[in-house]
Amino acid sequence: MNAAHEKLLKQEVGLARQLMVGGSLDEAFLHLERAHVLGQAHVRWHVLAHWLMLKIATRRYRGMAAMGQAARIVLGAIGSAVGRFPTGNTGGSDVSVFARMPIAPELLRVMEGTNLDRRAHGYSDQRTKSWNT
């Protein structure tokens, strides 16, 4: 994980936590989905994203979503540890555990370590890298 990737991941988790404290659970969840995409290749970050999603599910009194997040904590930890996870998956219990999803371009650029100014210099972005080959 490059420095910009880690910085953005910490920022997304921090924003989610602040919003959770303030009761803005929908907005917090959006930041956790981004954190999930950024961190799913790393056990600690992957589990943390699902743990915080579990906390939101319980605060919303959504039992099935909470059970889905509890299962994802275990499955996510195993998947990250062995390097098998569906790239781009946002981690919500309303999404299949196995569903690959497109990664938002701004997240992908950070994950790949692409300089955001490259296009201004005539270079094109490569968006074909697989994160879990």
Question: Angle formed by the axes of helices 25-39 and 105-112, to 10°?
Answer: 40
Contact 72, 99 (CB under 8 A): no
pLDDT at 29 over 80: yes
Alpha-carbon distance 123 to 59, whole Å? 46
Rounded to whole angstroms, the Cα distance separating 23 from 44 reads 25
Q: List the chain domain ranges.
A: 3-111
Q: What percent of the chain has pLDDT over 70?
A: 85
Per-residue pLDDT tens for 104-124?
999 999 999 864 443 333 333
Alpha-helical regions (H) of the chain? 3-21, 25-39, 43-59, 63-82, 105-112
Each residue's pLDDT tens digit, 46-77? 999 999 999 999 999 999 999 999 999 999 99
Nearest to 48 by CA among 32, 67, 65: 32
